[in-house]
Structure 1
């Protein structure tokens, strides 16, 4: 006999109201622009990437410093390379300026980085040890280098984009801006999708058959769980279960379907993008179709790609149906809005 909690479960009235995707608040749809600051930084990064490395005798701001962090008591002996701007504590960073190869700089780890987890990378200490780590470490300088940025000329432009495609700094910035904003659009779309999802969850007030689901989780797993373990698992999955019901109602109410052509075209575009990242800018249709055919023979890949196609269809539907206000921001402003950083 079914648990009474399950038999009384009636989310349809609430889910019916979601066919129109009625959300009580107007959401923001971000348009991220590559501003002058970002473009200048990317130009300098490219020039340094293709520049000439020069050895130095004395450290100055912006130099690459190589050496080894040590602390005998904690067993730290960690080679590292960095520039001083990696440090949040500018007083500690300033200790390097004017130092020479062979010099030893003593640093306090407390507040050294903007995130204590970076101590794991630079000092090679375990995760459990990094939070609030307050010790002194010595850094022995073994090499000091700087990079002389490459000149902006036709030779560099040819290496980057092929001969004749870019011929000036303005062309270079335009190309960087175009490529960057394509990537930014994907991040903005993902945030909009996440925000709509959360708003739908907030607006869909219906009760799940909690006790029934907890008992089902407890008894139908690979290993039988205790009541407490089942409740913890339920609490972790509750929002996911709610959204599965919401998503299913939206998909059926709006006639969203995935055809084989949808899947094939999506996979083809994905493969072309991946090939372009490795310098294959103009693959033949036959080459791409061959790869697509092999990928779609793998059922796990078909499932993964189908989820991506449906996610794209949901995003397009949300953009059409959900009330949203477009806000133009820099990438830095977008990161702050998304993560509060």
Structure 2
């Protein structure tokens, strides 16, 4: 056996593997014997089929299996031995023709194109500046959340005249094309929350009503979808296709939401006994919760902007044509050339970012130990208990819960990835200059969506 490579510039190489008959013959003979022992053919007892028949009927496919196995072992071993930094996996060469006579096998020669990762370095120091974007928590956001909490903990009371925030209880009565009541038609008692009616004309019809008043409305304009329409009219799901005309809605009751007072009772319900004692403390607490809520999004955006900035500065080159061919040959689902051209820029950017991240982890000497992940998971579990107002278990029980959570391989890998990312961003903060910018929530969303 002989294996050599021929460098094709800095980003690819061609690996040539030569197999002599002596290299594969012992494996082939063993495969033939094993197959003969297992195979069942009519007219022969198991294990007694003549070897000549085995070779004639199955020899070529068994040879192909053994050759493929040897090629995979050989090229993977060679890549490890030569410490080649490979992108994707080797693929049959496009420009070199293999030497292979499967009918009269002797010497085989195979050629593989191998995409190589580019060489580059990343320098991060005091002169390197990255921008950290955070969400500014506005008075408007806090006002709206306080209003939501007061509504959530409020109570329904009777009202004389309906307003745009009220709920109506009444009877839906089916009408014909002339808005006359259909004899024996649909009649069902249900509710309408005026606040959630999107059609302005319909909403106007429902405001200013008293008990025993009525409005003629299109039921589809007061329901969210066909399922909701069926529930509202008392029909079986999927049985609403025949609904073509208006309904009369006879108002029986009007319910208005009376918001909860900003007092200690509300503070205790929202934050726990005695945790907040004034409106000012409530506003401050909500501000902290908003900041916590957006912290993970800010971190993700911070990493994205670091990668974009480094990618723009480094201008890393990839063996694009070879990678495109690799995708065409190995993708699980067939890819058309048009699809490939459309999606390749995103694929190549993701690959460059992964290379940059790996280089940063290496150069900044970021490592994650098992015990660190365990403590991280314990912290996540403890926060979940706190979030639901449950006492955090003792350390030993917390550790047991964390160990169980780490048993699934996919979950464990994600936890390691999270820890690597957190430690990488910490290392970057220690090395580089970080400039902060604050955006409104709307500006932040728009900035994040730019990609």
TM-score bucket (shorter structure): 0.7 to 0.9
Change (3 A) 1:250 1:202: same
Q: Give yes or no for the alignment of 1:52 onto 2:155.
A: yes
C-alpha contact (below 8 Å) 1:23/1:200 kept by paired residues:
no
Counterpart for residue 312 of structure 2: 202
Long gaps (5+) in structure 1: 73-78, 110-118, 126-135
Q: Give yes or no for the alignment of 1:39 onto 2:142.
A: yes
C-alpha contact (below 8 Å) 1:33/1:329 kept by paired residues:
yes
Question: What is the CA distance between 1:293 and its match in structure 2?
Answer: 0.8
Q: Choose which of 146, 149, 152 in structure 1 pairs with 2:256.
A: 146
Q: Choose which of 156, 159, 164 in structure 2 pairs with 1:61.
A: 164
Change (3 A) 1:95 1:167: same
Question: What is the CA distance between 1:307 and its match in structure 2?
Answer: 1.1
Question: What is the CA distance between 1:294 and its match in structure 2?
Answer: 0.3
Change (3 A) 1:174 1:283: farther
Counterpart for residue 118 of structure 2: 11
Question: What is the CA distance between 1:93 and its match in structure 2?
Answer: 5.2
Change (3 A) 1:162 1:201: same
Distance 2:200 2:152 in 1: 26
C-alpha contact (below 8 Å) 1:64/1:83 kept by paired residues:
yes
Distance 1:56 1:284 in 2: 51
Q: Give yes or no for the alignment of 1:274 onto 2:384.
A: yes
Change (3 A) 1:19 1:40: same
Q: Choose which of 114, 117, 122 in structure 1 pairs with 2:224.
A: 122
Counterpart for residue 156 of structure 1: 266
Q: Choose which of 338, 341, 359 in structure 2 pairs with 1:249.
A: 359
Q: Which structure has more helix as a fraction of its residues?
A: 1
C-alpha contact (below 8 Å) 2:165/2:193 kept by paired residues:
no
Counterpart for residue 216 of structure 2: 104
Counterpart for residue 177 of structure 1: 287
1:19 aligned counterpart, secondary structure: coil
Distance 1:242 1:6 in 2: 16
Question: What is the CA distance between 1:236 and its match in structure 2?
Answer: 4.1
C-alpha contact (below 8 Å) 1:213/1:234 kept by paired residues:
no
- Give the superposed CA RMSD: 3.9
Change (3 A) 1:219 1:21: farther
Q: Choose which of 132, 142, 152 in structure 2 pairs with 1:29.
A: 132
Distance 1:267 1:191 in 2: 23
Question: What is the CA distance between 1:264 and its match in structure 2?
Answer: 0.9
Change (3 A) 1:105 1:230: same
Distance 2:126 2:328 in 1: 35
Q: Choose which of 393, 407, 421 in structure 2 pairs with 1:283.
A: 393
Question: What is the CA distance between 1:305 and its match in structure 2?
Answer: 0.7
Question: What is the CA distance between 1:297 and its match in structure 2?
Answer: 1.5
Counterpart for residue 192 of structure 1: 302
Distance 1:55 1:168 in 2: 30
1:59 aligned counterpart, secondary structure: coil
Counterpart for residue 75 of structure 1: none
Distance 2:143 2:425 in 1: 33
Change (3 A) 1:237 1:155: same
1:326 aligned counterpart, secondary structure: strand
Counterpart for residue 374 of structure 2: 264
How many aligned residue pairs are there? Answer: 307
C-alpha contact (below 8 Å) 2:124/2:428 kept by paired residues:
no
1:271 aligned counterpart, secondary structure: helix
1:303 aligned counterpart, secondary structure: helix
Long gaps (5+) in structure 2: 14-114, 177-189, 228-243
Counterpart for residue 69 of structure 2: none
TM-score, L = length of structure 1:
0.73
TM-score, L = length of structure 2:
0.57
Question: What is the CA distance between 1:95 and its match in structure 2?
Answer: 5.0
Change (3 A) 1:337 1:235: closer
C-alpha contact (below 8 Å) 2:155/2:260 kept by paired residues:
yes
